[in-house]
């Protein structure tokens, strides 16, 4: 009788395990999906122009993390910027089809300036209307969205027991791009003495046998090695670096841009990859990411994921209009002040990793200060997340003017408002 009971109990456990009901522990998966268009496309980043060919292919790279309670989706796409409304549409479809709550779905863009437009322009049409006199390609948008949704569904099916490691690296592949003349005015150029963030944040996902599933590399750099003269579709430096690391690692790498609002690649604004020495970024940044990966000496499968969201309201520039499709991202107070509603996302991994993300082209001084005040030893800012609501500069940099000020909806107090709110969230303050 006891033998029969034991056999029954073992069979029941096996059945529950196979059905997915039993606890699974930490699991992860990655999927890489080609989103290079078949035909010519209007490119985003610089003036309106149409592609004539492909220099290197562009991708969605999708990671799914699952700790048994929370399932988190991180996407890195070789796209310049997109409207938050585009993210909202895809997030709504994802929730309907797969039941994934938007707070657990982060869609970050590498910010290459040589990729096709994706969906309607959003806020850029407010600042640069002449760039968007044409209609966006709805067919390309639908194909790219479907590939993303299908890729996430595929990754969920491929989840395997996993381990996670974290580390820091350093690369001098970037430079402050806010050059200032004797009159104090800022111009797009190079400022070797300006604020910069050269840290590389690295997260590695391994299988239980130690083989790599994926690498996530976080670094601040504009995707502007190639200038507006270039008409070839390209992932720019982030794409070249990701491809190089993948060849060396034998697994996909998600390039997640950081606070690159005032940070350029050290070679920037060239008409073609050869002139811009784009392949040199394999050494300048790719090898530094590989070195940071090697420095990760410990991984763990004891992982707890915790997500959160925060809506920060900060005043909008006086007399600045708005885009109707983004009406959910603004409101007017009883006193008649127009506000920008800025959504910020948070991911905490165990007690030592905190990641925050916002739909911003953020100046690095802000993320640097938040990182310095964070109680987490590994604090990363994932930029260009879930849309684009313009540049957010520090109060000091706004005084110097320049291009970034003209494409920002924010007042000088925005940086302090953001820093205060995010720091309080990370420090557990109300």
Give the list of residues 6+ apart from residue 273 with CB closer than 8 angstroms, or none.
55, 225, 226, 232, 234, 279
Give the list of residues 6+ apart from residue 340 with CB closer than 8 angstroms, or none.
313, 314, 315, 316, 329, 330, 389, 409, 410, 414
List the helix and strand counts (H, then E) for the chain.
11, 23
Q: Are 249 and 210 spatial neighbours (Cβ–Cβ below 8 Å)?
A: no
Give strand pairing partners of 305: 349
Q: Are 124 and 86 spatial neighbours (Cβ–Cβ below 8 Å)?
A: no
- From residue 65, alpha-carbon distances to 108, 347, 394 in Å are 16, 11, 34
E strand or H helix at 151: helix 138-157
E strand or H helix at 63: strand 59-66
Q: Is 40 annotated as a binding residue?
A: no
Q: Is 111 annotated as a binding residue?
A: yes
Helices (H), 351-407: 364-373, 395-398, 403-406
Residues 38, 165: Cα–Cα separation, whole Å: 38
Which two tokens mark 37?
């268009």
**Could you count the other beta carbons within 10 Å of the beta carbon of residue 168?**
14
Residues 54, 232: Cα–Cα separation, whole Å: 5
Q: Residues at the annotated binding site? A: 111, 222
Annotated binding site for Zn(2+): 111, 222
């Amino acid at each position: 009788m006891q033998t029969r009971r034991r056999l029954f109990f073992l069979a029941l456990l096996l059945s529950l395990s196979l059905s997915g009901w039993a606890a699974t522990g930490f699991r992860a998966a990655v999927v890489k999906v080609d989103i290079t268009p078949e035909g010519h496309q209007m490119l985003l980043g610089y003036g309106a122009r149409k592609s004539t060919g492909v220099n290197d292919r562009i991708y969605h790279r999708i990671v799914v993390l699952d700790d048994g309670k929370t399932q988190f989706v991180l996407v890195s796409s070789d796209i310049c910027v997109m409207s938050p409304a585009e993210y909202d549409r895809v997030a709504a479809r994802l929730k309907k089809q797969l039941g994934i709550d938007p707070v657990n779905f982060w869609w970050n863009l590498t910010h290459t300036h040589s990729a096709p437009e994706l969906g309607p322009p959003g806020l850029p049409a407010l600042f640069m209307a002449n760039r968007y006199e044409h209609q966006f390609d709805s067919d390309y948008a639908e194909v790219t969205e479907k590939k993303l949704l299908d890729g996430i569904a595929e990754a969920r099916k491929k989840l395997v027991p996993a381990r996670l490691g974290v580390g820091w690296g350093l690369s001098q592949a970037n430079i402050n791009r806010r050059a200032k003349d004797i009159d104090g005015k800022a111009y797009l150029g190079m400022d070797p003495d300006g604020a910069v963030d050269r840290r590389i944040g690295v997260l590695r996902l391994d299988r239980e046998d130690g083989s790599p599933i994926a690498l996530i590399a976080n670094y601040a750099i504009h995707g502007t090695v190639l200038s507006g003269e270039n008409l070839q579709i390209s992932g720019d430096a982030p794409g070249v670096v990701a491809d190089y690391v993948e060849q060396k690692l034998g697994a996909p790498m998600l390039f997640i841009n950081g606070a690159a609002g005032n940070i350029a690649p050290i070679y920037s604004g060239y008409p073609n990859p050869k002139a811009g020495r784009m392949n040199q970024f394999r050494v300048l940044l790719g090898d530094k990411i590989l070195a940071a990966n090697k420095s990760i000496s410990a991984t763990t499968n004891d992982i707890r994921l915790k997500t959160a969201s925060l809506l920060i309201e900060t005043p909008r520039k006086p007399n600045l209009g708005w885009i109707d499709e983004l009406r959910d991202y603004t409101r007017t107070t009883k006193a008649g002040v127009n506000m920008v509603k800025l959504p910020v996302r948070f991911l905490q991994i165990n007690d030592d990793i905190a990641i925050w993300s916002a739909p911003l082209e953020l100046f690095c001084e802000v993320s640097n200060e938040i990182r310095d005040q964070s109680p987490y030893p590994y604090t990363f800012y994932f930029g260009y997340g879930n849309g684009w609501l313009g540049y957010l500069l520090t109060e000091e940099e706004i005084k110097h003017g320049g291009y970034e000020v003209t494409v920002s909806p924010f007042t000088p107090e925005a940086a302090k408002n953001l820093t205060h709110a995010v720091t309080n969230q990370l420090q557990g303050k109300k």
